[in-house]
A and B are shown apart, each in its own frame.
Chain A
Amino acid sequence: MTDTIANRAAKATPQRVARKIKGLSDRAIAWIFVAPTIFLLLAINIFPLIWTIQLSFTNYRANRLNREPEFIGLRNYERILTDSDIWLNMQATAHFLFWTIALQVLIGFTLAWLINKKFKGNDLWTTIIVLPMMLSPAVVGNFWKFLYQPQIGLFNYIVAFFTGKDPSSFEMLGSVQLAPWSIVIVDTWMWTPFVMLICLAGLRSIPDYIYEAAEVDRASKLRQFFTITIPMVLPFLMLAVLFRGIENFKMFDLVVQLTGGGPGSTTELTSINLKREAFEKWRTGYASAYAIILFVTVFGLASIYVKALNKVKER
């Protein structure tokens, strides 16, 4: 018998264990190894999901443990989907989603395009640009809160420098008009590098010979940009848009740290509203139905995301 890794492993197996697994097929042994993971997955992911679905059809309240939950059918879903306050929260989320994605794609693509040009200090600039993405959202939320301070905040002073306004005349986090934009600015600052990296991967995947062929055909730089660069980076951009879309739909930590959903409920995104329903008002059944609605939306978007990912892989 040759001294292969498998043979050495077989020799090292204690006799008691070896006797037990002797006669088991490879498939059975594979199942024995995989079973703990499957069990954990069922216990941590699938069971809570099924339980949440079940609770969403009841009027269960987690702070009233003695009261038996009552089956109320689709009433929770009906209440949520006809509630104009929740509709407003969805619109706040939509405003946040639309502007963060638009700005991140625009700035991220421009940065990637510039970084892709060979120049001195290219790597250093890439590292500096990528830094915000590596910070914790709690840390980012905290220090942007200081930057937005009307009296001592650097942000107000920069705006005042360009507009000539008094720095303490406006409050980014306290104003109903400005607060939704303040969270957009912070998320854009934090996550533009991520979009830039994806765009950079797309730009670097375009072979040079395509541009050389275009040069031979005397295509202008602008024409090359619109007929080669944009179409070939588009699948990567789609990927970035979907990824950021899903992430920002679930946005919680950064906004809670910055505004806590205020002033009023102008920056109360759906996830913050859901947390309030579940753990402040203790409407567990209602919050479960709310969570299922958000889950189905994210799951639907994730399906499109996987499809887009496969398209990029095919390239």
Chain B
Amino acid sequence: MRTFLTGLMRLRRGPWEMLATIIIALGVFMLMQPFVLWAFTYSFITTLVGTVMFIVVSHFPEGE
């Protein structure tokens, strides 16, 4: 967890890609879940943020 947070602070690719992946997965889950309509409503913006974030952070330097 500490390595992950340090990686985020130092703008390293690995942890940021992981974070973006989690956001995309959360967005897809929100889109398809059968429980609450508000999660469906906000699913698109969540997936969009995750996807754009993934594109941006994939240009970050690799961790040492």
Contact = CB atoms under 8 A, between A and B. Distances in A.
Interface of A: 77, 81-82, 84, 87, 90-91, 93-94, 97, 293, 296-297, 299-301, 303-304, 307
Interface string B12-28: 00000100110011011
Chief secondary structure at chain A's binding surface: helix
Interface residues of B, number: 23
**SS of B interface (majority):** helix
A45 B22 CA distance: 28
Interface in B24-58: 24-25, 27-28, 31-34, 37, 40-44, 47-48, 50-51, 54-55
Contact of A300 (B32, B42, B47): B47
Given A90-B40, A304-B21, A297 B34 contact: no
A293 B17 CA distance: 22
Interface of B: 17, 20-21, 24-25, 27-28, 31-34, 37, 40-44, 47-48, 50-51, 54-55
A307 B54 CA distance: 10
21 contacts: A77-B44, A81-B40, A81-B44, A82-B41, A87-B40, A90-B32, A94-B33, A296-B44, A297-B27, A297-B31, A297-B47, A300-B24, A300-B28, A300-B47, A300-B51, A303-B54, A303-B55, A304-B21, A304-B24, A304-B25, A304-B54
Given A293-B44, A304-B24, A82 B51 contact: no
Contacts of A301: 24, 28
A82 B55 CA distance: 28
Contact of A87 (B37, B47, B50): B37
